[in-house]
Amino acid sequence: MPTLQFQVAGEGELVLDIQRLIIAGWTGRDADAVNHHIRELEEIGVKPPTTVPCFYPLAASLLTTDALLEVPREDSSGEIEFVLLAAKDAMYIGVGSDHTDRKVEAYDVTVSKQMCAKPLGTEVWRFDDVAAHWDQLQMRCWRTRNGQRALYQEGLVTRLLDPRDLIQRLTGEDKLPVGTAMFCGTQAVIGELGSGEAFEVELHDPVLKRTLRHAYRVECLAVAP
């Protein structure tokens, strides 16, 4: 069970003991687009989910705020996600990356997600501060590949289910259990899906004019032949 330290924007330090990590998948608001994507992935061998959305429980110890991510081989890549964090006093929103092994994903999605640590930024917002204008928030990710930094993902949170809807579908209630961290879905990739030497993710609030950011480097470990 990791204990992580965050900075609440405009307030102070927040220390959270994370007991449960959930990755929400297939969280698009447009059901037809989600089903189309499922069929596309089936054609390349990815097993379709049994329910939509679906929720992958992972080891909480995978969460990391480090700026370096070590992975086996060059088969993994990051993707921006907004992250819900349930504390005793409130729910917070952060930004992270569901870094996933794409080769393993073709035959076991849960294992592919479990293989990689999950980077998470250290600054968070109170969810109540953005709830009223949630649909105006913007998500972006940059990838550095072969030394070239380029925009990799971009889109409004309206492409994804509202976090309150996700919570209801997961728990049957209107709140997450204290100590839960939940990654809530991502945006479409611009160009080719795949690995990079570094990823940068951000969640921007144009109403309050502030941004959550996190950047990390990727190092491939030597693998015995």
Q: Give the whole-angstrom CA distance, residue 138 versus residue 155.
A: 6
**Regions of the chain with pLDDT less than 70:** 37, 40-41, 44-45
33, 83, 86: which is closest to 202 by C-alpha? 83
pLDDT of residue 34: 78
What are 13's strand-pairing partners?
7
pLDDT of residue 211: 98
- Residues 147, 217 contacting (CB under 8 angstroms): no
pLDDT of residue 44: 57
pLDDT of residue 109: 84
pLDDT of residue 41: 67
204, 73, 85: which is closest to 140 by C-alpha? 204
Q: Is the pTM of this model over 0.85?
A: yes
Cα–Cα distances in Å, from 126 out to 113, 152, 216?
27, 27, 24
CB neighbourhood size of 131 (10 A): 13
Cα–Cα distances in Å, from 34 out to 29, 30, 189, 190?
8, 6, 14, 17
pLDDT of residue 40: 61
Instruction: Outline where the chain has alpha helix (H).
Output: 31-43, 102-105, 109-114, 127-130, 163-171
User: Which domains, from first to last, does the chain contain?
Assistant: 3-221 (3.90.850.10)
pLDDT of residue 224: 74
